[in-house]
């Protein structure tokens, strides 16, 4: 036990001294963590509320039903399934719930920001779906005319938009008009922007015409790790998706997540507008400062970003991998990423993806974002020794240790 205790302690201490810019991570508040740690983590609840295969769940049924209704009401959906234990499981359930093997679908493509689960190498491929891609330019903007032509030609069972890299709203309304002509559904993978949607500072996919939202619940939405499905769909489709969640792709759905998920939604209802608004201000400030310091930041023509993400192209194969490794040496944590429109190895891409949602959660604002950009520049251009830069990163992070935009502020 001593060894594992030491390793966990070291991890906690190290990450508390790092500026974490991983776009797919966030932290729960102490209030949500208290909800997370309960007897529920020991229990099983196969099935849906009040229709279970196990006993001892009279309160679990009430909890899950309450949380499910709260999400439906908040997002204007007639269907919600809060049981998926990850965004990928949510995609498996939604994809398979509205399609059959060998059906054709259209995704964005990895180079244009889709998640691997949308592709042949992930869930879509394992489900036997034939995947083709919509049309984008090299600045993460969809070519609507060419995409519309492709939808009409391919006649996909569904298209999936959103995903892992999303700087701007997706053209849901425009795509809906075309999809209706061929009977195609729209699935919007909101994993990265779910908190922005919840707060009302980004587009509302369901109101704009998406049939289904799939998402994870731990990125800009600062809840427990897990997945979720929302939609405005018919009863047969809803039941089919539910059966894909259980018994299809999971058994027990990690019950302790559910009250923590509710806590996170309530925090977003109370503080989300300020939190999500500051996220966007921070990402734009970081992007602008990096650009002004000579970095190639995607999205320049449209103001760089309207989400938590910033994407930088170093314009050399493998440079993204090298940058992420070098920045970790100075306690700045982010990930390498493929750049749109270029044939790159996922292991050795040209770019990096940055997310500001966690540091915003700890209270950082535009001034700190400019400081982070300066530190990135100094490290990447060898303007100072890495140990010296690391001390400055630790010093910056030391002033931001308390989770904000949550009930604990009251």
DSSP string computed for 77-90? -SEEE---SSHHHH
What pTM was computed for the model? 0.96
Across residues 166-176, what is the average pLDDT? 96
Termini Cα distance of the chain: 37
91 and 203 both lie in a single domain: yes
168 and 185 in a single domain? The answer is yes
* CA distance linking residue 264 with residue 224, whole number of Å: 8
Residues 254 and 393 in one domain: no
Give yes or no: residues 202 and 304 share one domain. Answer: no
Mean pLDDT, all residues of the chain:
96
Q: From CA 315, how far away is CA 161, in angstroms rounded?
A: 26
Count up the domains in the chain and report the number: 2
In a domain, residue 211? The reply is yes
Give pLDDT tens digits for 286-302. Answer: 999 999 999 999 999 99
Judge whether 7 lies within some domain.
Answer: no
Q: How confident is the model at residue 410 (pLDDT cuts 50, 70, 90)?
A: very low
Examine the pLDDT at 195 and tell me if it is beyond 70.
Answer: yes
Query: Which residues, in sequence order, are CB contacts of 149 under 8 Å at separation 6+?
Result: none
pLDDT (tens digit, 9 = 90+) per residue, 360-399? 999 999 999 999 999 999 999 999 999 999 999 999 999 9
**Is 230 part of any domain?**
yes
Residues 60, 193, single domain; the answer is yes
Do 295 and 363 lie in one domain? The reply is yes
The reply to whether 323 falls in a domain is: yes
Span 3-25, pLDDT tens digits: 999 999 999 999 999 999 999 99
151 and 295 fall within a common domain: no
Last residue of a domain, one of 264, 280, 298: 264
Task: Examine the fold and report which residue of 215, 233, 264 is the final residue of a domain before the chain moves on.
Answer: 264
Would you say residue 400 lies in a domain? Answer: yes
Compute the average pLDDT of residues 261-265: 98
Residues 280 and 400 in one domain: yes
306 and 252 in a single domain? The answer is no
Same domain, 245 and 315: no
Strands (DSSP E) found in 127-175:
130-133, 158-162
pLDDT, residue 343, reads 67
The mean pLDDT of 174-180, rounded to a whole number, is: 98
* Tokens describing residue 378: 């100094």
Average pLDDT over residues 56-73: 97
- Residue 369, domain extent: 272-409
Tens digits of per-residue pLDDT, 209-235? Answer: 999 999 999 999 999 999 999 999 999
In the prediction, which pLDDT does 24 show?
97
Cα torsion 54, 51, 65, 232: sign = positive
For the domain that residue 401 is a member of, what is the CATH number? Answer: 3.90.1150.10
Domain final position from 244, 264, 284: 264
E strands, 273-367, in order: 296-297, 309-313, 332-333, 335-337, 351-355
The answer to whether residue 104 scores a pLDDT higher than 60 is yes
**DSSP secondary structure of 336-348:** EEPPTTS---TTS
> Could you tell me the pLDDT band of residue 148, with boundaries at 50, 70 and 90?
very high
24 part of a folded domain: no
Confirm whether 23 is domain-assigned: no
Q: What is the pLDDT of residue 190?
A: 98
CA separation for the pair 164, 115 (Å, rounded): 5
List, for residues 304-360, the tens digit of each pLDDT value.
Answer: 999 999 999 999 999 999 999 999 999 999 999 998 766 677 888 999 999 999 999
CATH of the domain at 186: 3.40.640.10
The CA distance from 277 to 389, in Å, is 29
Q: What is the model's pLDDT at position 341?
A: 67
On whether both 279 and 382 belong to a single domain, the answer is yes
Domain check: are 221 and 287 in the same one? no
In a domain, 115, yes or no: yes
User: What torsion do the CA atoms of 371, 376, 381, 383 make, to the nearest 10 degrees?
Assistant: 40
């Amino acid at each position: 036990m001593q060894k594992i205790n030491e390793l966990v302690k070291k991890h906690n201490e190290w990450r508390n001294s790092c500026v974490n810019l991983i776009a797919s991570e966030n932290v729960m508040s102490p209030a949500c963590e208290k909800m997370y740690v309960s007897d529920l983590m020991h229990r099983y609840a196969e099935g849906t509320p009040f229709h279970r295969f196990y006993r001892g769940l009279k309160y679990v049924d009430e909890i899950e039903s309450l949380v499910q209704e709260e999400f439906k009401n908040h997002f204007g959906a007639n269907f919600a399934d809060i049981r998926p234990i990850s965004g990928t499981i949510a995609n498996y359930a939604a994809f398979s719930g509205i399609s059959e093997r060998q059906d054709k679908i259209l995704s964005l493509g990895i180079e244009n920001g889709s998640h691997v689960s949308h592709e042949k190498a992930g869930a879509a491929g394992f489900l036997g779906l034939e995947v083709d891609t919509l049309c984008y330019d090299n600045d993460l903007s969809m070519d609507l005319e060419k995409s519309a032509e492709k939808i009409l030609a391919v006649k996909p069972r569904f298209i999936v938009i959103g995903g892992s890299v999303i700087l701007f709203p997706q053209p849901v309304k425009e795509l809906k008009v075309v999809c209706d002509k061929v009977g195609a559904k729209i699935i919007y993978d909101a994993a990265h922007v779910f908190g922005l949607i919840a707060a009302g500072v980004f587009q509302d996919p369901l109101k704009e015409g998406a049939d289904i939202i799939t998402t994870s619940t731990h990125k800009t939405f600062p809840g427990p790790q897990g997945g979720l499905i929302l939609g405005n769909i018919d009863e047969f489709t809803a039941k089919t998706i539910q059966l894909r969640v259980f018994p299809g792709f999971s058994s027990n759905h990690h019950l302790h997540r559910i009250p923590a998920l509710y806590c996170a939604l309530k925090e977003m209802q109370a503080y989300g507008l300020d939190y999500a608004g500051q996220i966007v201000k921070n990402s734009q400030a970081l992007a602008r400062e990096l650009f002004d310091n000579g970095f190639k930041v995607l999205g320049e023509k449209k103001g760089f970003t309207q989400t938590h993400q910033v994407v930088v192209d170093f314009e050399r194969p493998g440079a993204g991998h090298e940058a992420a490794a070098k920045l970790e040496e100075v306690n700045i944590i982010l990930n390498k990423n493929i750049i749109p429109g270029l044939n790159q190895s996922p292991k050795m891409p040209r770019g990096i993806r940055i997310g500001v949602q966690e540091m915003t959660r700890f209270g950082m604002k535009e001034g700190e974002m400019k400081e982070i950009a300066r530190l990135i520049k100094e490290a990447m251009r060898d303007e100072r020794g890495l140990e010296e830069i690391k001390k400055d990163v630790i010093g910056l992070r030391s002033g931001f240790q308390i989770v904000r935009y949550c009930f604990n502020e009251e």
